[in-house]
Each structure stands twice: as structure tokens, then as C-alpha cells.
Structure 1
Amino acid sequence: MRIVTEMPEAVAGAVIGVFTDIDDTLTTEGRLPAAAYAALERLYDAGLFVAPITGRPAGWCDMVARFWPVTGVVGENGAFYFSYDAETRKMRRAFFAGDAERAANRKRLDAVGRRILAEVPGAAISADQLYREADLAIDFCEDVEPLPREAVRRIKAIFEAEGAVAKVSSIHVNGWFGDYDKLSMTRRFAAEVLGLDLDAEKDRIVFCGDSPNDAPMFGFFPNACGVANVRDFAGEMEAEPAYVALARGGEGFVEIAERILSTQGEW
């Protein structure tokens, strides 16, 4: 991983959009700094598309798509995308699975959740679970005392033993039934909302992230960037970002945005 200031001017100047994780990428210690939100707004106002790609729930994503300076949002690790059209005052919602399939999956996930709570002391259902449409989030450090990494691995293993997909973020282990992830829904969002072939344009798009559940995005985008806390997971990710900020969390995102914005219009 190279320091983000080493991103070549030709690369930074050619960027047409930014995808970004939220937790511990835009946020710092669980809060969204004004500087990080301002960086989002500056990118958007510069004419770049901006879209959070997050594990957070549908309830949160509706607000993000409606009120933040973004083109849309991919939520619950790829279960859906939302994009709000301010002119028509309509929210566009696209899900990987239909209503009936999500309802059936919810019953299966509820059973998995009961098993995890019984077998992993200290784990808890995430506080934002009520607002989720498609997955189950197990909290291992957001609103509970931080669990050891062995316990986090155990949570992930239980999901997988029950036939679910499981991904570890900086705060939750998210599990779901369905053949999707952040990248697959981002590809669909790019085609249907942005009118872009993601495979053809990936060199001109920056993804920003911080943790193992971002690995599919790090591996796909040649110019992906990590905030400094991505180094906490060194050796635990299937792919790492090409560039890394010096600062952690939201302050690191500001570094990345400033590198991109400093070159816009020059190439």
C-alpha cells in the first residue's frame, strides 16, 4: 500500500466518482466529523458521483440517500441500493431478493442469531437490526465490550456453518443468505443509476474503505484507498487497497478526497 499522496496526478485527475464505506472510513470513533461530510459535499459539488457502500441497514440508507450529498447508496453489504431523485421526489429502491425470499431468510437468520448468542458470550444483536431488510448484524464492539478476535472468528464460523455468507466489518459480523456482496450490487447500481459499465470504468473510480468486508472492492478497483485503520487488519484481508491515508477514519477520508480534488480539471 502506497501513501495516498503518491497517487499519480494523471490517476487522481481522471477520477469520475467515489464509492466509500461509512463506519470507520467516514466516521471516527463512531461519529461523522464535519470535515468528512464536507469532503463528501466537495466531491459531489465538483461533479463526481458519490455513493456510500455500507453494511448499515435499509432504514439508515433511506436517510443517507435522501439527505446526504450523494448519488445513491448500496446497503446491507449489497442487499440493495437506494437512489433519491430530488426533482421528482421519488426514491428508487432495488433489492437482490424479493419480499417473500427476504421474509423466509429472516426466519433462518433469527435461528442463527439465537445460536450465536448462546455460543458466543458477550455478543449481541446490533442496535440497528430493527431497521434491516436482508441481513443479521452481530455486534462485537459498537455497543458491547469489545470481543477478542477469536470470538469474532467464531461468530463468522457459525454463520458459515448454517449456510450463510458472513463478512466482518470494524464493528459487526454481518450474515445473510444470498449470492451477493458489496461489489455485485455496486455493479448493478453503476449500470442502472449511473449508466456505467463498472468493469470498463474501474480505473477511473476510487473506492475507500477500512476493513475485511471491503476486500472485494479493494481487489476490484485498481486505485482503491484505505484510511489508516485498514492496517489493523493486515494479513486478514483477501485484498488490500492500492493507497492508504496517514490518518484514521474520517480524517483519512479527507486526505483521500483532497488528493482527488487537487487534480480535478487538470487532466
Structure 2
Amino acid sequence: MIASIRAIDVETARNLKGIFFDIDDTFTTNGKIPAVAYQGLWTLKESGLKVVPITGRPAGWCDHIARMWPVDAVVGENGAFYFRFDERAGKLTKRFLDPAPVRCEKRVLLQAVEKDVLSSVPGTALASDQPYRETDLAIDFREDVEPLGWPAVERICAVFRKHGATCKVSSIHVNGWFGDYNKLHMTRIMANELWGVDLEADRRFYLFCGDSPNDEPMFEFFPHSAGVRNVLQFADRMSRLPAFVADREGGAGFAEIAETVLSLRAT
């Protein structure tokens, strides 16, 4: 049984140093960022907490997010990189896990996976944000295509694994890549390189918010993790669930989590 987000205690909230959060269906609702979610993000940032989106979305989107959202950095493509906009220098810095030549080699391998998935799993399509990706392949199963059932999602995953690729399921895409990294791996690198923080030792000072199976490494690692309500639709397909859950779904759930944390910190 997952506890309500309102069960989080005052001491935990007061000791938090940062909030990590997924974007799709955690910060958004039906593909849009609700005003309450964006205001919640601004309020978290202005309170002095570190705020970092941890997403499967592409490098092109993350360039915009790092520059224009009130965030300290962004981890993208399920852990392939982090971007940070240096406010003082007025410059964007990009930190990829793989060097450019390796990324090029892996993109060639992913072309074969793409062809195999699209020919063997009817109803799938490349994600509409694929042209802006640097490191992975995103297969759409419910964003811009007619929603496919879980058996189709499992067939997509099987094709990725057949080619030796890693894959993770989000609420809208199956993302696959070559390498054993994930969201948590790059989040730990980012925290160490930007803030000098060892998340292994300091994980209790950070809260992660998510909604789907590709957030499991984060739910497992952070003792203070929260799901928006829609995470429960995946509960029987996940081995690691968040410690807390919001009463509301999507962006409204994110706003609820932010409001709860900030209220407790002000107590």
C-alpha cells in the first residue's frame, strides 16, 4: 500500500535540498503543462530547492527546457546526457555520457531496430520528437497513434532486446538505446559534477516524482519518492513503486506534491 503524499513528515520536507521529476504525465496532463504545475515549479525554485526534470524527451527539447524553464539542469533521453544553462555566463553546457563518434555508431545500429519494430508491430510509429534525439529510438504507442495494448508494448520491447538494446517503457513511448545507463545513472553524475553531491550518501535529501515504469530506478533509489495518481495504472507491472502517491493525476498531482512539500517546510 502506497502512502498518501500527505503522510510525508515535516522533518523530511524541511531537510529536502532538491526535487527531481519526470515530465510526461507527471508534470503534464494530456500533453500540456497545467498552470498549477508550472507555478508549482517556479515556487519550488524560488524557495531555494534544486529542481531538475529527469525525462525521456529528446535533446532538442532539453535545450529549450534548460534555457527557458526555472530549472537547475535537465537529464534527457533516459539518462544519455544532462544539459545546464549557466545564468552568469549566459551559456548552455551539454554533458553526454558517450562521445560524438560513439553516438554516431549507435545511431546506425538503432536504424535496424527501427525498421524491425515498425515492420513487426502494427500500429506503431516513430515518436514525433525522434528528429530531435541524439542517442535513442522512441517508438510511439499512444501519443500520436491510436493507443496500443500492453501486448503490443511487450512486442516492441522484445524487438529492442533481440537487437541487444536496452529499453524502457514510459506512459507514451518505448525508448531504446545501446548501453546500460538509465535516468538514475546520469542523475548521480549530474549531482556530483554540478553540485559536488554524492547522491549515494545524500539520497534522503532529494525527492523524486514520477508516473511510469521507466521511473523505477528512481523510485527504488530515493527513499522519498512520489508518484502522481496515474502511476497506479502500472502498479501490477512494476516491481518498485514510489513511497507516496498524490491524490491527483498528471500536472495537478505534481502541483499537489509541490504544495504539500512547501507547506510542510513553512510549518
TM range (shorter): over 0.9
Q: Report the Cα offset of residue 135 of structure 1.
A: 0.2
Q: Report the Cα offset of residue 204 of structure 1.
A: 1.1
> Which residue of 1 is the match for residue 75 of structure 2?
74
- Helix, strand or coil at the partner of 1:130: helix
- After superposition, give the CA deviation of every residue in 1:39-89 in whole Å (9 maximum; x if it has no partner): 000000000000000000000000000000000000000000001011101
After TM superposition, list the pairs within 5 Å mapping 1:44-193 onto structure 2.
Answer: 44-193=45-194
> Which residue of 1 is the match for residue 253 of structure 2?
252
Q: Report the Cα offset of residue 263 of structure 1.
A: 2.1
Using the alignment, how far apart are the partners of 2:238 and 2:195 within structure 1?
A: 29
Using the alignment, how far apart are the partners of 2:156 and 2:235 within structure 1?
A: 20
Using the alignment, how far apart are the partners of 1:72 and 1:238 within structure 2?
A: 28
Using the alignment, how far apart are the partners of 1:60 and 1:146 within structure 2?
A: 23
Q: Report the Cα offset of residue 264 of structure 1.
A: 2.1
Judge conservation of contact 2:79–2:184 (CA < 8 Å) in 1. yes
Using the alignment, how far apart are the partners of 1:263 and 1:3 within structure 2?
A: 14
Query: 4+ runs of 1 displaced by more than 4 Å?
Result: none
Judge conservation of contact 2:210–2:227 (CA < 8 Å) in 1. yes
> Which residue of 2 is the match for residue 223 of structure 1?
224
Q: What TM-score, normalized by structure 2, do the two folds share?
A: 0.98
> Which residue of 2 is the match for residue 212 of structure 1?
213
Using the alignment, how far apart are the partners of 1:237 and 1:90 within structure 2?
A: 39
- The one-letter code matched in structure 1 to 2:51 is V
Using the alignment, how far apart are the partners of 1:215 and 1:179 within structure 2?
A: 15
- After superposition, give the CA deviation of every residue in 1:218-249 in whole Å (9 maximum; x if it has no partner): 00000100000000001211310000001000
**Residue ranges of structure 2 left out of the alignment (5+ in a row):** none
Q: How many residues align?
A: 266
Using the alignment, how far apart are the partners of 1:194 and 1:152 within structure 2?
A: 38
- After superposition, give the CA deviation of every residue in 1:25-48 in whole Å (9 maximum; x if it has no partner): 000011110110110000000000
- The one-letter code matched in structure 2 to 1:103 is C
Using the alignment, how far apart are the partners of 2:248 and 2:193 within structure 1?
A: 34
- Helix, strand or coil at the partner of 1:56: coil
Using the alignment, how far apart are the partners of 2:112 and 2:200 within structure 1?
A: 38
- Helix, strand or coil at the partner of 1:247: coil
Using the alignment, how far apart are the partners of 2:56 and 2:239 within structure 1?
A: 18
Using the alignment, how far apart are the partners of 1:156 and 1:238 within structure 2?
A: 17
- Helix, strand or coil at the partner of 2:24: coil
- After superposition, give the CA deviation of every residue in 1:80-107 in whole Å (9 maximum; x if it has no partner): 0001011101111111101111101001
Q: Report the Cα offset of residue 265 of structure 1.
A: 5.2
**Residue ranges of structure 1 left out of the alignment (5+ in a row):** none
| Identical-pair percentage | 54
Using the alignment, how far apart are the partners of 2:265 and 2:70 within structure 1?
A: 18
- The one-letter code matched in structure 1 to 2:201 is A
- Helix, strand or coil at the partner of 1:207: strand
Judge conservation of contact 2:219–2:240 (CA < 8 Å) in 1. yes
- After superposition, give the CA deviation of every residue in 1:174-223 in whole Å (9 maximum; x if it has no partner): 00001210000000000011221111111110000000000000000001
Using the alignment, how far apart are the partners of 2:195 and 2:229 within structure 1?
A: 29
CA RMSD after TM alignment: 0.8
- The one-letter code matched in structure 1 to 2:195 is L
Judge conservation of contact 2:10–2:265 (CA < 8 Å) in 1. no
- Helix, strand or coil at the partner of 1:222: coil
